Amino acid sequence: MKSIRAACAGLLAVFFSAAPCFAADQVARPSAREVVIVMRVHLDPPPDSQYLAKLAEMEKFVGKKNLGTDHALALSYLPKNQTFFLPAGYPISGHLGEMAMIKVDIPSARTLILHWIRVYLMHVDKWFVDLPIEQEFEIPAGAQYIYLGTLRYHRVDEFFTIDKATRIDEFDAAQEIVRKQFGDTARLYRASFRDIEVPKKK
């Protein structure tokens, strides 16, 4: 897929100090200086929740009451021209397979660089898979709601090695959800992905 670079291996990290990780609260209406990013993320085949629950019980480092029944998400992004900061993961309101949202500040250059989406398996903060994006997009003037698309990642093994990533358009479904949450006047824009520009050495 041209709009998402060739996907590399995702990393599943498991630590004995794992703790529950919770998805962000429902996104509120954005201000004039904010934009809501809308997306859906699929992992195919999906994580084996029954296996993960048994693993957690066997290792006895996460109580059953702390396990989620779904998988939380976070988005790693940076404003353009601020790439000297280390990209962090910001919680997304929504889960794997759902139409999800995150509200971010609009940078002065109106361009955001997307690095990866992190999937927290069973809501456990140390059980995660990073799904690469490595694209940037510009926020159009006046836009307050941006649709990234449905990002579908295919894995080939239990180690979450990703061999293919595709971007699917479900714009009408996303627009309906945005209007239901933010009102009939909420207008959704499609994000136009492009490869991250690497500054030329002087």
Residue 202 to residue 191: CA distance in whole angstroms: 31
Low-confidence ranges of the chain (pLDDT < 70): 1-25, 59-69, 82-88, 197-202
15-30 pLDDT tens trace: 334 444 555 568 999 9
pLDDT at 8: 44
Q: Considering the domain boundaries, does residue 70 fall inside one? A: yes
Q: Considering the domain boundaries, does residue 124 fall inside one? A: yes
Q: Considering the domain boundaries, does residue 29 fall inside one? A: no
Q: Considering the domain boundaries, does residue 191 fall inside one? A: yes
Q: Assign 195 to helix, strand or coil.
A: strand
Sign of CA dihedral 99, 44, 75, 137: negative
pLDDT at 162: 93
pLDDT at 23: 53
**Tokens coding 195:** 């490869």
pLDDT at 152: 97
Considering the entire predicted model, what is its pTM? Answer: 0.82
State the residue range of the domain holding 165. 34-195
Q: Considering the domain boundaries, does residue 132 fall inside one? A: yes
Q: Considering the domain boundaries, does residue 13 fall inside one? A: no
Q: Considering the domain boundaries, does residue 22 fall inside one? A: no
40-77 pLDDT tens trace: 999 999 998 888 877 777 765 555 555 666 888 999 98
pLDDT at 198: 58
Count of structural domains within the chain: 1
- Whole-number average pLDDT of the chain: 82
Strands (E), 106-185: 111-120, 128-138, 145-155, 162-168
pLDDT at 14: 38
Q: Considering the domain boundaries, does residue 66 fall inside one? A: yes
Exposure string of 74-112, with b = 16+ CB inside 10 Å and e = fewer, is bbbbbbbeeeeeeeebebbbbbbebbbbbbbebbeeebb
pLDDT at 138: 96
